[in-house]
Amino acid sequence: MGRAFVYVILGGGVAAGYAALEFSQRGIAPGELCIISEEATAPYERPALSKGFLLPEAPARLPAFHTCVGSNDQRLTPKWYTEHGIELILGTQVKSADVNRMTLTTATGETISYKTLIIATGARALKLEEFGVRGSDAENVCYLRNLADATRLVNIMQTCNEENAVVIGGGYIGMECAAALVTNRIKVTMVFPEAHCMARLFTPKIADFYEAYYESKGVNFIKGTVLSSFENSSDGKVTAVVLRDGTRVPTNMVVVGIGIRPNTGLFEGQLVIEKGGIKVNGRMQTSNSSIYAVGDVATFPVKLFGNEFRRLEHVDSARKSARHAVSAILSPDKTSDFDYLPFFYSRVFTLSWQFYGDNIGEVIHYGDFLAGRFGAYWVNKSRIVGAFLEGGNREEYEAIAKAVKLKIVAQDKAEVEKLGVEFVTKV
Ligand code: FAD
Ligand code: NAD
Ligand code: ISD
């Protein structure tokens, strides 16, 4: 048995939703496109899962955050897909792919063929077991990647009011979940191996500000170490985490955010893999010209960084790379190479920051770190290549983005430091 489509999007996450919108806006015939997703839900804005979805008051729930509301575009409900003749094949895992036959085989044994395939399989959360720790399948240990995980996390949080949680990992998930737990009146201890939080992006000075803010909300940090094991009750729940130095931290629940791995497995040995992702060119086209890859799973050339290949794990990149691939497929002559400005952001408590570009070179901090109005520029070869700003307004964020895009000259360090965000709002 089998079905055939002209276009198949494999994966039904953020990138799939934005690709579907782009297909419909550029014009395809009903029945030409399908999306195959392991998840039982139409594409949604994954960032909502660690923010609005976890709020104790008026939490965000589907259908409110289906793509593409995250970029203030249309909200694509299941009805929208039906009305646009786009088939959603949900709750369906693809188990194998044959790029020569141009087919995918699902867990139920169905073969789905394509003329053009977009791989949008995203990534999976790394498990503690991959670092030699056992027992993260206990009923009060949570990971957070999809709606099912978020629903489970909410249910567990609701049983832990005024109790304790340990958060393992000091990256995006760790920081956003710790803030959500505190908002849900749960006492949090964060444990991570680095000297400060968000080590992939923050400087020690930036991290100091956020750590002090979290501490003011009651969060306790245990840095420079990892857990070695869990202690469990007779009914299997984790009751404490034991750290490498033997410290025991009692807890009622655990949230783990220790990074991700892109879902490339179906294509290993069939497509070129680079930096852990599926390598694509500036049209998001893989080493097989009928196959494109977008979002977290794609490693693409970043023009701004001299076409260095990067794999970015952020929603803006997923949205824009997906739209770009569809443009390259449907309007090849009018589509030039993807020219992407890397953009990361987060919102926790009443704080909100944005970062554009690359965090290499010398760092110039500016602003008032006590008042929470500060930022930083990364300067490489006398030019601004990265910019961070906490608590900015729309014009200011646009200005730092533009400064990075133009790589404006920043020779006088003292002047840059003194003017801060004004150094770029004048550009
Ligand atoms: P995904 O959105 O992960 O979608 C992949 C889809 O493919 C999933 O539906 C998956 O089930 C499906 N799939 C995988 N393999 C198969 C298979 N074999 N068969 C069928 N289906 C398959 N980024 C930001 O920039 N800002 C944020 O604030 C932010 N918040 C986040 C919060 C959370 C909780 C998480 C988990 C991520 C967050 N991110 C954020 C990252 C952002 O969500 C991702 O970069 C983005 O979702 C990537 O989109 P994608 O479509 O490539 O992958
Ligand atoms: P991450 O890469 O941001 O952070 C991983 C953290 O895990 C590291 O900072 C480190 O502290 C910790 N770690 C690594 N190995 C460990 C070990 N053995 N034991 C304990 N801790 C260890 O990954 P994440 O926080 O898991 O986030 C997952 C994905 O979700 C990422 O792609 C991220 O970009 C995305 N996300 C993004 C946002 C955002 O952009 N605002 C929000 C949530 C999630
Ligand atoms: O980019 C985002 C983000 O941070 C969210 O929370 O998209 C979602 C949507 O705004 C949820 O409605």
- Give the pTM: 0.98
CB-based contact 425:396 (threshold 8 Å): yes
Position 427 pLDDT exceeds 90 = no
% of the chain exceeding 70 in pLDDT: 100
Amino acid occupying residue 95: K
Q: How far is CA 379 from CA 36, 121, 252, in A?
A: 43, 35, 45
Say what the pLDDT of residue 113 is. Answer: 98
**Ligand 2 center to 169 CA (angstroms):** 6
Residues 6+ away with beta carbon under 8 Å from 93: 38, 106, 107
- Give the DSSP H or E segment for 399: helix 394-406
CB-based contact 285:328 (threshold 8 Å): yes
List alpha helices for 27-85, DSSP H. Answer: 78-83
Say what the pLDDT of residue 169 is. Answer: 98
Say what the pLDDT of residue 173 is. Answer: 98
**Ligand 3 center to 65 CA (angstroms):** 7
Say what the pLDDT of residue 17 is. Answer: 99
Quick one: average pLDDT of 72-80? 98
Say what the pLDDT of residue 138 is. Answer: 98
Position 161 pLDDT exceeds 80 = yes
Q: How far is CA 352 from CA 280, 310, 375, 388, 399, in A?
A: 32, 25, 12, 11, 16
For residue range 101-123, what is the model confidence (pLDDT) as tens digits? 999 999 999 999 999 999 999 99
For residue range 31-57, what is the model confidence (pLDDT) as tens digits? 999 999 999 999 999 999 999 999 999
**Ligand 2 center to 175 CA (angstroms):** 9
Say what the pLDDT of residue 278 is. Answer: 98
Say what the pLDDT of residue 426 is. Answer: 78
pLDDT band at 184 (very low <50, low <70, confident <90, very high): very high
**Ligand 3 center to 43 CA (angstroms):** 13
| Closest ligand, as measured to the CA of 343 | 1
Given the structure tokens 């693809």, which residue do they identify?
94
Say what the pLDDT of residue 309 is. Answer: 98
The overall average pLDDT reported for the chain is 97
Position 422 pLDDT exceeds 90 = yes
Q: Which atom of ligand 2 is nearest to the CA of 199?
A: 9
For residue range 380-410, what is the model confidence (pLDDT) as tens digits? 999 999 999 999 999 999 999 999 999 999 9
Strands 253-256 and 362-368: unpaired
| CA angle (418 as vertex; 344, 409 as ends), nearest 5 | 65
Residues 6+ away with beta carbon under 8 Å from 398: none
For residue range 196-230, what is the model confidence (pLDDT) as tens digits? 999 999 999 999 999 999 999 999 999 999 999 99
Q: How far is CA 333 from CA 29, 327, 329, in A?
A: 20, 10, 10
Is the CB of 314 inside a 6 Å radius of any atom of ligand 2?
yes
Residue whose CB lies within 8 A of the most ligand 1 atoms, among 94, 114, 121, 153, for a mutation test: 121
% of the chain exceeding 90 in pLDDT: 99
Quick one: average pLDDT of 293-307? 97
- Give the tokens for residue 44: 């949604």
Give the separation between CA 128 and CA 256, rounded to whole angstroms. Answer: 8
Say what the pLDDT of residue 151 is. Answer: 98
Position 141 pLDDT exceeds 80 = yes
